[in-house]
Amino acid sequence: MKPITRMLWSIASTLTLSAGMACADGHLPLVELPDDGERDYWLPSQVNEAGTLEALQAVTGEAAVPLTGALEEPIQIALIYPSADTSDFWARNYLAMTRRLDELGIPYETTEFASRQIEHSLQATYASQVDQDADIYDFVIFGPSELATQADNIDKLAGNPDLTTFVWAFHTPLQYLEDQPANWFDFSSSLGADVMCDYMLERLGNDVTYAMNRGIPGITDNQRSGEWAACVEERGNWELAYEHYGEYTNEGGFEGTSLILQAYPEAGVIHNANTAMAMGSVQAQLAVDATDEVFSTGWGGTGLELDAIRRGELDATPMRMGDDVGAATAEAIRYHLEGRADELPFVFLGRITVAHDQMSEEELAALEQEAFRFSGVEPLER
């Protein structure tokens, strides 16, 4: 018998339906938009009950309120995510989640299934393993290598009645899933694209020629790269010289930037769609002493990116308040255990601002302290 079924609750008789169960009953979207038929996913504003997102953001930023009730044994959490990649997003949010669980007084044990972001088949194998071993786990956290590629695996895990499934790093619930996960946790790539567009147009002006190291074709890159590009082109008359698909890898960023520097010297800006490609791009620039020749960006505001900004190797990045996802996940676990899942937003979004090379060390440090309040501001050991 799973430990989650042996809880001692004063409120056990008032358990409510989870968000995932409500979604399976066809209650989404809460708000219909004219272009719903042109997308295969819903926007967060269509699926969140009014006020739930803001409420969880507030709870996540406040002191922990311990779990109501008691557990006889630790809950079991499986994590399937591309934590073997360069980005420390996964490791930091794991730390944020577990340290917030500690503050909440929720005993837990975790099992991690790590991969690289391009290892789609390996993630599918892990998903099948967790699905088959559902009697072992209470919660599964899935960070897909790419959303559409892993849709069947999300559907499978979400449809398992013995698991409560959370999705990390995506905020666009797919309309065609038969079974929706209980909750989604992410930072809005669309919001990040808008924030970066505003900042770069204000700083660099109009009529700029740029190039891009894009990730993997799909929702995330469409938002991080495609929406940002559409914004600077429409509002600033920017012109695209070249786009390279680097598959979110360090090698892809290095190869793309090397090609851009050699074949498209007119490109004054290089956009990178994640940390790994940004670091590869920086390495390629350093190899030919070109860091002062282009304005280069990252994505996410990870510790590696902030250190590169401090060294003058990277110019700007949309910075997530990184620990928000992990801390909010811990709070969501508490809500599910207390039978309060209906109070949660279906899609949680963290905050994003721009970190850049014109900030003082004090300003960067303040942003970093807030963003990494659980996982720590020092670079994580790999």
Please spell the DSSP secondary structure of 285-312, one letter per residue.
HHHTT-TTTSEEB-SB--HHHHHHHHTT
pLDDT of residue 61: 86
Give the start-to-end residue ranges of the domains of the chain: 3-187+322-352, 190-299
343 neighbors 19 (Cβ within 8 angstroms): no
Q: What is the pLDDT of residues 249-284, one digit of tens each?
A: 999 999 999 999 999 999 999 999 999 999 999 999
Lowest mean pLDDT among 18-32, 231-245, 312-326: 18-32
What span, in angstroms and rounded, lies between the C-alpha atoms of 156 and 159? 5
Q: What percent of the chain has pLDDT over 70?
A: 92
Helices 189-204 and 228-236 sit at what angle, rounded to 10 degrees?
A: 30
Choice between 86 and 88, residue whose per-residue pLDDT is larger: 88
Identity of the residue numbered 231? C
**Position of tokens 């946790």?**
185
Task: Give the H or E element holding residue 49.
Answer: none
H helices of 228-289, in order, are 228-236, 250-263, 275-287
Annotation: CATH topology of 3-187+322-352: Rossmann fold (3.40.50)
Structure confidence at residue 382 as a pLDDT band (50, 70, 90): low
pLDDT of residue 14: 35
3 state SS of 59: helix
Q: What is the mean pLDDT of residues 290-300?
A: 96
At 267, list the tokens. 């490109």
Say whether pLDDT at 312 is over 70.
yes
Q: Whole-angstrom Cα distance, residue 220 to residue 190?
A: 9
For position 17, what pLDDT does the model report?
35
- pLDDT at position 20 is 42
Q: Tell me: pLDDT of 26 over 80.
A: no
Name, in order, each residue with C-beta under 8 angstroms of 29's C-beta and a sequence gap of 6 or more.
36, 42, 46, 47
Q: What is the pLDDT, as a whole number, of residue 118?
A: 85
Q: For residue 53, which amino acid is it?
A: L
- Please report the pLDDT score of residue 356 as a whole number: 98
79 or 23, which is more confident? Answer: 79
Burial (0-12, 13-18, 19+ Cβ within 10 Å), 49: middle
pLDDT at residue 86 in the model: 64
Quote the mean pLDDT of the chain: 91
Q: Is the pLDDT of residue 159 over 60?
A: yes
Domains 3-187+322-352 and 190-299 agree in fold: yes
pLDDT score at 2: 63
Q: pLDDT tens digit string along 220-234?
A: 899 999 999 999 999
H/E element, 79: strand 75-81
The answer for residues whose C-beta is within 8 angstroms of residue 92's C-beta and 6 or more apart is 302, 303, 322, 323, 326, 372, 374, 375, 380
311, pLDDT greater than 60: yes
Pair of tokens at residue 29: 């979207």
Which residues have a Cβ under 8 Å from the Cβ of 362 and sit 6 or more positions away?
none
**Residues 331-335: contacts with CB under 8 Å, at least 24 apart:** 331/56, 331/59, 331/60, 331/100, 331/104, 332/56, 332/166, 332/182, 332/183, 332/185, 333/75, 333/77, 333/101, 333/106, 333/139, 334/67, 334/104, 334/106
Q: Which CATH architecture has domain 190-299?
A: 3-Layer(aba) Sandwich (3.40)
Res. 6: pLDDT tops 50: no
Q: Which residues of 190-216 are buried (b: 16+ CB within 10 A; e: fewer)?
A: bbbbbbbbebbbeebeeebebbbbbbb
Task: Check whether 318 has a pLDDT greater than 80.
Answer: yes
Whether the predicted pLDDT of 24 surpasses 50: no
